[in-house]
Amino acid sequence: MIEQLGNGLLLGIIIAVASVALSLLYGVTRIVNFAHGEIIALGAIATLFLSSPVDSRVIFLDRFSPLGNNFYISVVISVILCGLLGGILEFFLFRPLRKAEVGNIAVLVVTIGLSLFLRHIYLLFNAKPQNFPLELQRRETYLFFDMTPRNFRVLILGIFVMVLIGLFLNYTRIGKAMRAVRDSNDLASVSGINSDNIILFTWISSSMLAGLAGVFQATINDVRYNMGFLILLLIFAGTVLGGIGTSFGAMVGGFIIGIVVNVSVGLPFMEGHTEAKNAVALAIMILILLFRPQGIFGEKERVS
Amino acid sequence: MNKTVIECNGIAAGYVKGLNILQGVDLIVDEKEIVSIIGPNGAGKSTLLKAIMGIINISGGRFFINGVEKTNTPTHQIVSEGVGYVPQVENVFPSLTIEENLEIGSWSVKGNIKQTISKLYDDFPMLKERHKDKAGNLSGGQRQILALARALVTSPSILLLDEPSAGLSPVAIKEVFEIVKEINSRGVAILLVEQNATRALNFSDRGYVLDQGRNAYQGKGQELLDDPRVIDLYLGKL
C-alpha cells in the first residue's frame, strides 16, 4: 500500500489544483462547470502541440506538425491560452446568459454541451494518447515514497501554486473582492465593486489553474483528448468533500481523493479489481458527507 | 433652500420584464434630510431602493443624483456618486472578517483606507474589538452596525437604509436608530424604508406613503402621523 502513496500524492496534486480552480469558479459565479475537464485537456494538448519536435509523429489533424518550442515556454503559453479561453467563454457566453438571467440548471446544461463540443474538437486534433517530449526518468525515493525527479518537481510546484492561491485570496485586494463576490454579488456591487470584472478575472484565473492541472496530469501520465473528462468526477468529489466554495477545502479534499484512489489499489479486496479504485474514493466521500454534510472545511453559517 | 441629492421622476421598475412593481413613483431627498418611505407589504418600498441603486432595471421614468441623470447606471458607479446602501438581508459578507468587510466597503475610495477605517473604529468600538472575527458570527444587531459602517466607509452624501430594524431586539433597534441619527447629524441625508410606520415617521423630516407601486400620500413626518387617511390605511387606530 505504501508504494501507492507516491502515486496517490501525484494524483492528489492534480485533483487538488483542478478542484481549487473549479471551487473558485463555482464560488464566485455559482456555475457548476462541466467543461472544466476540457480546459484541463487544453492545457495538455496545447503544450503537446507547442513543444513536440517538428518532425515527431504527433501530427494534428493529419496536417499540422508540432512547433517544437522549449517545453517550459510551451507550458507558459498553454496556461495563458487556457486563461484566454476562460475569458472568451465568460465574455461571449456566460456573461450574456447571466444578464439574461438564465437559471443555474440551464447554465449547467450549457456547460455539459460545451464539454461535449470541445472534447470532440480535441478528438479531431489528437485521437491517440501521446506523451510530452520529455526524457524517461528512473524513480527515486523521497522520504518513504517513490517517484521520478520530474514528478517530484510537479508535486512541489503544485504545492507552491496552492500556497500562492491561498496568500492571493487572503491578502490581496482582488482576492478579497473575489471572496466578497462569492458571499454576495449584489452586496459587492453596492460596495462599489464592478462584479463583472471580478467574474471575468475569476474565469481567467480558474481556467489558467485548470490548464496547469492538465499539464501536471499529462506530465505524470499522458495526453488524451478526454483526459479532463476522465478525472472530472474525482474533481467534483474533491470539491464537495472539502466543502463547496472553500478553496482551502478544495485543496485538502482533492488531495484526499487522489490519495485514496491510489492507496485503495493496495487493499486486499481490490486485488484484480483495480479499475474500481475510483469507486472506493467516491464511497469514502459519501461516508464523510453523511457525517459532515457541509464538507470537511465547509462552514455552517449563522442565519439571522 | 437645500440642494436636492436624489430625485425620482415617475420611476417604473420590477424584477421581471413586463411586470412592474413600481408604476411611476416620484420622490425627492434634499441634503441632510431624513426621509422615510412607508406603506403596506408589496407597496414597492424596497424595490424603489433597488431601482435607485441600479440593482434592478428602471423601465420607465428618470432618476437624478445631484441634478445629473443616472437612470440605469451600473451599481458600482452609483456608489461612487456618493450613495451608500444597506440592504435588508445579506448586508454583510459573512465569510469575511469585520476588517475585510470594511476594506471591501472602501473599494471605490481613493487614498488612505486604513485611516478611514480606523476613524470608523473610533465611532464603533465593537467593530474594533472584533475586527478579526468573521462577520457571519455576529449577532443581528452587530451585523446591522457593521452593515452601516461598511456603507459609511465611502463617506456618502446619502444613505439608503432598507428596514434597518428588521429582526432586531428592541434594544438593538434603539441603538441602530441612534446611530442613524448621529450619522445624519454629520450631514448625511437618510432615505429610510421602514415597516414600523410610527417609528419611521417620528424619526423623519418627511415621509412618502407608497401603495401598490404608486405615491399615495406625502408630507412632513408629524403631519402624516396625524393624517386620518394614513392612520386608517396603514397605521391602524392608535
Interface test with B, best of A99, A181, A185, A187 (most B CBs within 10 A): A187
Confidence of residue B76 (pLDDT cuts 50, 70, 90): very high
Contact B87 A190 (CB under 8 A): yes
**DSSP 3-state assignment of A130?**
strand
pLDDT value at residue B195: 83
- Which segment of A9-23, A64-78, A272-286, B98-112 scores lowest on mean pLDDT? A272-286
Give the Cα separation of B209 and B224 in Å (integer): 9
Residues of A in contact with B90 (CB under 8 A): 184, 186-187
Among candidates B127, B71, B72, which has minimal Cα distance to B99? Answer: B127
For chain A, the residues whose C-beta falls within 8 A of a C-beta of chain B are 173, 176-177, 179-180, 182-184, 186-195, 299, 301-302, 304
Give the Cα separation of A14 and A216 in Å (integer): 6
Q: Cell numbers of A287, please?
A: 461516508
Among candidates A205, A245, A214, which has minimal Cα distance to A37? Answer: A214
How much of chain A exceeds pLDDT 70, in percent? 96
Contact B104 A193 (CB under 8 A): yes
Q: How far A280 CA sits from the closest chain B CA (Å)?
A: 33
pLDDT value at residue B160: 96
Among candidates A117, A81, A98, which has minimal Cα distance to A207? Answer: A81
- Phi, psi of A137, rounded to the nearest 5 degrees: -130, 150
CB A269: neighbour CB atoms within 10 A?
Answer: 9
Residues of B in contact with A99 (CB under 8 A): none
Give the Cα separation of B66 and B30 in Å (integer): 9
pLDDT value at residue A86: 98
Averaged pLDDT for residues A124-146: 84
pLDDT value at residue B234: 65
Q: What is the pLDDT of residues A10-53, one digit of tens each?
A: 999 999 999 999 999 999 999 999 999 999 999 999 999 999 98
The yes-or-no verdict on residue A55 having pLDDT over 90 is no
Buried b (16+ CB within 10 A) or exposed e, B24-44: ebebbbbebbbbbbbbeeebb
Averaged pLDDT for residues B125-149: 92
Per-residue three-class SS string for chain B: CCCEEEEEEEEEECCECCECCEEEEEEEEECCCEEEEECCCCCCHHHHHHHHHCCCCEEEEEEEECCEECCCCCHHHHHHCCEEEECCCCCCCCCCEHHHHHHHHCCCCCCCHHHHHHHHHHHCHHHHHCCCCEHHHCCHHHHHHHHHHHHHCCCCCEEEEECCCCCCCHHHHHHHHHHHHHHHHCCCEEEEECCCHHHHHHHCCEEEEEECCEEEEEEEHHHHHHCHHHHHHHHCCC
Averaged pLDDT for residues A148-170: 94
Averaged pLDDT for residues B163-180: 90
pLDDT value at residue A296: 86
**Domain A3-291 belongs in CATH node 3.40.50:** no
Q: What is the pLDDT of residues A173-229, one digit of tens each?
A: 999 999 999 999 999 999 999 999 999 999 999 999 999 999 999 999 999 999 999
Task: Round the CA-based radius of gyration of chain A to a whole number and report it.
Answer: 19
Among candidates A9, A196, A232, A172, which has minimal Cα distance to A98? Answer: A196
Check residues A89 and A265 and name the one with the higher pLDDT. A89
Q: What is the mean pLDDT of chain A?
A: 90
Q: Considering the entire predicted model, what is its pTM?
A: 0.90
Domain-wise residue ranges, chain B: 4-235
The yes-or-no verdict on residue B105 having pLDDT over 70 is yes
Confidence of residue A233 (pLDDT cuts 50, 70, 90): very high
Specify the CATH number of the domain B4-235: 3.40.50.300
Averaged pLDDT for residues A143-169: 92
Whether the CB-CB separation of A29 and A203 falls below 8 Å is answered with yes
Averaged pLDDT for residues A251-275: 85
The yes-or-no verdict on residue A124 having pLDDT over 90 is no
Among candidates A130, A121, A283, which has minimal Cα distance to A217? Answer: A130
Q: How far A188 CA sits from the closest chain B CA (Å)?
A: 8
B residues 39..68 contacting A (CB < 8 A): 53-55
In angstroms, the Cα distances linking B143 to B89, B122, B168 are 10, 17, 10
Whether the CB-CB separation of A240 and A253 falls below 8 Å is answered with yes
A279 Cβ contact list (under 8 Å, min separation 6): none
The yes-or-no verdict on residue B238 having pLDDT over 50 is no
Most confident range (mean pLDDT) of A76-80, A148-152, B204-208 is A76-80
Q: How far B189 CA sits from the closest chain A CA (Å)?
A: 17
Whether the CB-CB separation of A181 and A195 falls below 8 Å is answered with yes
Averaged pLDDT for residues B197-204: 88
**DSSP 3-state assignment of A147?**
strand
Residues of A in contact with B168 (CB under 8 A): none
ipTM of the complex: 0.89
- Phi, psi of B38, rounded to the nearest 5 degrees: -125, 175
Q: What is the mean pLDDT of chain B?
A: 90
Contact A179 B53 (CB under 8 A): no
pLDDT value at residue A302: 46
The yes-or-no verdict on residue B222 having pLDDT over 90 is no
Confidence of residue A300 (pLDDT cuts 50, 70, 90): low
